[in-house]
Amino acid sequence: MSAPTVPLTATETRIVEVRAGILKKNDELARALRRRFEAAGVFVVNLVSSPGTGKTAFLERTLRELREQGLRVAALVGDLETDNDAQRLARSGAPARQINTHGRCHLEAEMIEAHLDDFAIDQLDVLFIENVGNLVCPASYDLGEAMRVALLSVTEGEDKPLKYPTMFNSADVAMITKVDLAEACEFDWEAARQSIESVRPGMTILSCSARKGTGMATWYAALETRRQGWRSTRRDVVV
């Protein structure tokens, strides 16, 4: 019989179970942000959509009119390069800060955290985050928001939610924008409703024209209802 084989290497290959979230770092930071927002009493809304849906026009009007109603509002706006949007939003009179992602296609929790010192967040009622215009990537990143609104314009076609189900599925409210153009685009309301309902049964669907002001009062009412619900259930957090 030959001599027993001595292993040539002092290592062994093993398969080890790990089970760890890939976005762990972002998710942990988002949880910390959520606790911070709750402690400060600021309701945070994340606006997501494809480019050109009219997020900035929608937000500009929202900021102006909510300020007129006496709410303390502010905005963080994500963009790949320019600060055009923050300049536009600042015209509403509300504080607005630009986050340049320098090519990144979405906002991440650490970018939000890095810009929070620009605001006295405990002096705010609502902080809006205008995400980068992109219907894919922002869906994966929790920013610690209390509410996510997915915007869909009548010019984009009724089946966008079917094509980008993850985004609509991760949002709380679908907002159909540019309704003043609906007739010209032959927008099929029922088809749009069905495609939203198909990817997110029971989702709240609102519609508006930020240019004409149509539907904005309903949006403010829906926002306020959710904010009040959040205020009554948010945990008592000591900072």
Residues near other proteins (CB under 8 A): 4-7, 9-26, 104-106, 108, 136-137, 139-140, 161-163, 165-167, 169, 195, 197-203
Residue (61 or 200) nearer to other proteins, CB:
200
Torsions phi, psi of 110, nearest 5?
A: -70, -25
Residue (25 or 231) nearer to other proteins, CB:
25
Residue (72 or 104) nearer to other proteins, CB:
104
In the complex, minimum distance from the CB of residue 237 to other proteins, in angstroms, rounded to a whole number: 26
User: Is residue 88 classed exposed, middle or buried when 0-12, 13-18 and 19+ CB atoms within 10 A define those classes?
Assistant: middle
Question: What is the sign of the dihedral through the CA atoms of 203, 21, 162 and 156?
Answer: positive
Q: Is 190 helix (H, G, I), strand (E, B) or coil?
A: helix
In the complex, minimum distance from the CB of residue 29 to other proteins, in angstroms, rounded to a whole number: 12
Residue (20 or 239) nearer to other proteins, CB:
20
**Beta carbons of 168 and 174 less than 8 angstroms apart:** yes
User: How distant, in Å, are the alpha carbons of 38, 39, 42, 70, 183 from that of 235?
Assistant: 7, 8, 13, 25, 45
Spatial separation of the C-alpha atoms in residues 35 and 238, rounded to whole Å = 9
In the complex, minimum distance from the CB of residue 109 to other proteins, in angstroms, rounded to a whole number: 12
Residue (89 or 171) nearer to other proteins, CB:
171
User: Is residue 185 classed exposed, middle or buried when 0-12, 13-18 and 19+ CB atoms within 10 A define those classes?
Assistant: middle
Residue (24 or 235) nearer to other proteins, CB:
24
In the complex, minimum distance from the CB of residue 171 to other proteins, in angstroms, rounded to a whole number: 12
User: Is residue 64 classed exposed, middle or buried when 0-12, 13-18 and 19+ CB atoms within 10 A define those classes?
Assistant: middle
In the complex, minimum distance from the CB of residue 164 to other proteins, in angstroms, rounded to a whole number: 9
In the complex, minimum distance from the CB of residue 188 to other proteins, in angstroms, rounded to a whole number: 17
For residue 159, how many C-alpha atoms fall within 13 Å in the half-sphere facing its CB?
1
In the complex, minimum distance from the CB of residue 131 to other proteins, in angstroms, rounded to a whole number: 12
For residue 224, how many C-alpha atoms fall within 13 Å in the half-sphere facing its CB?
12
Between 55-68 and 216-233, two packed helices, what is the crossing angle to 10 degrees? Answer: 70
Residue (32 or 217) nearer to other proteins, CB:
32
